[in-house]
A and B are shown apart, each in its own frame.
Chain A
């Protein structure tokens, strides 16, 4: 009797399974615990790709409780490190996601601390249809953009639409910011370099036909080179984040002049509609007030900042959590927190 029991136990032990457990999920729990989970996309196989980033499609719902994101764009760096690959992924059925064919972007010439490509999901038409703008800053003096539309009901391919150079008369854009507007619309704010002047150039919502010039706001500036640029029309103030002497600096530019924000010593990745500045440099989430005073600093533990977008008339900050499962597979959780509550992340 005992022998049979022990033999049975031995067999069960060999057939035993480790319990379901995702370490990435718990590692970021300190931050996601303050957020609302608004979707899961995956699993997706990337082989040996690295630097995986996820840009969820924009929500079309009007209440955060109704948001259920089922798709998004995935950017990853190939194993050789020579190219970035852009894919669109959407949940086909429970537990599995389909992906589009990948669009390849060369990374040659990338040496700046600034991102070579900027990706902005600009609209969502359905769970399998979305638009993304890819801005290429390979040549800062003449940056280009491409527009990608995706609809996987048919061929499931990722095909470029409008593409061209960003040209605003003779002015050269040195940075761009996408910002949600009241009423659910979004604008692109370009920083344009003119001697002694930075202009703000709102873009049309329909970028497929090119960026139309809006009403410029003239700001006094001393900046003419590539920088990260953020504009808050409500405050009539722009922020530039740039590296100088190996350190990240941040200036606030208004009509009355340029002011260095000494409290900001990290790269700024977003200017929120609340006027707060957000940094994710080195995987640490830092929030600054409009004067550059740091409000909190928290390790992100794998969480990625995606964008700020309106749900109904309320702006939310969206984050993605890529989770690596077994066999090179990935799943992305998407979280959101009201911009007005983002200070809770520091608790």
Chain B
């Protein structure tokens, strides 16, 4: 009888993980009662030197690196560093993660030292298990590193944060044996649909969690979509961990731009969009009251000219991608308020059709940067005057072209910062 029960129990234990099923979890899991054996994380460590001037020498960098590793090893439960010794470390998150994984690490850390006198320490780190950027900050010292006494350096502005970001995890995460079942609890916004892990989409319950049994270790990909939130596509390497938080940003309905147009003339714009939709509308203002342009007699140019644009556009790249390409078209109005006169629509090029093609990419937090090509077809009611304006010395290096009754501004560039509310 005991043998029969043992066989049934064993069969259930091994059959359950093979069936990829999901279930809502309406209450937090009970804390495990038994003590868990934990192992330190494995950190691929890279130290680089930055800055065009006053850079550190290779020997100085080696000394600083040893100092950092020594200080890290003194911290309890700190990740175990794996020194990266090749000449150059890749620049993209994907490539860095690939190198780290091949090196047997489950996270990577890049520390860049730049500037003498008041050196700046830039820190970027990524967790391969949770597929999230854990650290991205800079710290500036008020004193230079003392190379003769560098082993007293404790790196207190960096190492505590590294240790906090990578606490030890359960040791069976590093099991090298055949895949075993792990019950993974995914944390996300209630109602989120998760695809890629099971034949049918998972639905996150009201408690904000959903569980699924998955073989581990193994790589996985998922896509999480929720109404009003930016879709999130992520890859992760399941290696024994039992929780997977998914970071979901609200889809912004309004993005504010601070930009420069035509050289360095400032402008502002508001981009309106329906959350989770690709279409957007933009109201744009650019003033030429103050700016820099190389085709003027003086370095700083000031023109009593303001342009207003209404652009309708569409993102060509899904919202979850880092770099998003978009295109649009709209109307542009040029308004002038010259000294001693009234506000008028510009007589030279009163209005036009502006096209927009560009991309934006993340900088930090909700801040993104963008660059756009904004070729514009202007209505040109005075082509002879326009041609006279562009006589011999008046044309800039990248000028406009007159095609009566239009003028083409083909080399107009707009770039700046974009903040998502």
Contacts and interface: CB of A to CB of B under 8 A. Distances in A.
B294 interface: yes
Given A13-B413, A17-B411, A325 B303 contact: no
Interface stretch (A35-43, A164-172, A225-233): A35-43
Contact of B301 (A18, A20, A25, A327): A18
Contacts of A329: 391, 393-394
B260 interface: yes
Contacts, number: 165
B11 interface: no
Interface of A: 1-2, 5-6, 8-9, 12-30, 32-33, 37, 39-40, 42-43, 91, 94-97, 299, 301, 323, 325-327, 329, 331, 333
Contacts of A30: 341-342, 344
B260 A299 contact: no
Contacts of B174: none
Interface string B377-410: 0000010111111111110111110000001010
13 contacts: A2-B369, A16-B262, A16-B293, A17-B295, A21-B334, A28-B341, A29-B344, A91-B384, A95-B388, A96-B392, A301-B338, A301-B341, A325-B389
Interface string B292-307: 1111110001011101
B22 to A, nearest CB: 37
B415 A20 contact: no
Contacts of A15: 263, 294, 397-398
B265 A25 contact: no
Contacts of B375: none
B288 A40 contact: no
Contact of B391 (A1, A301, A325, A333): A325
Given A16-B398, A19-B305, A25-B348, 17 more contacts: A1-B323, A9-B413, A18-B301, A19-B349, A20-B349, A23-B304, A25-B385, A28-B341, A40-B384, A94-B387, A96-B392, A299-B340, A301-B341, A327-B297, A327-B393, A331-B388, A333-B385
Interface of B: 91-92, 260, 262-265, 288, 291-297, 301, 303-305, 307, 323, 334, 336, 338-342, 344, 346-349, 361, 369, 371, 382, 384-394, 396-400, 407, 409, 411, 413, 415
Given A40-B384, A331-B385, A21 B294 contact: no
Given A16-B294, A26-B341, A94-B384, A326 B393 contact: yes
A21 B262 CA distance: 13
B348 A20 contact: yes
Given A27-B339, A29-B344, A95 B390 contact: yes
A299 to B, nearest CB: 7
A20 B390 contact: yes
Given A19-B305, A22-B385, A25-B347, A43 B260 contact: no
Given A18-B263, A19-B262, A43 B291 contact: no
B389 A27 contact: no
Contact of A17 (B384, B389, B398): B398
A95 B391 contact: yes
B217 to A, nearest CB: 31
Given A23-B303, A29-B347, A96 B262 contact: no
A281 to B, nearest CB: 17
Contacts of B342: 30
Contact of A37 (B297, B340, B382): B382
A33 B346 CA distance: 11
A309 B171 CA distance: 101
B389 A22 contact: yes
User: Which residue among A16, A25, A325 has the maximum number of chain B CB atoms within 10 Å of its CB?
Assistant: A16
Contacts of B390: 20, 95
B387 to A, nearest CB: 3
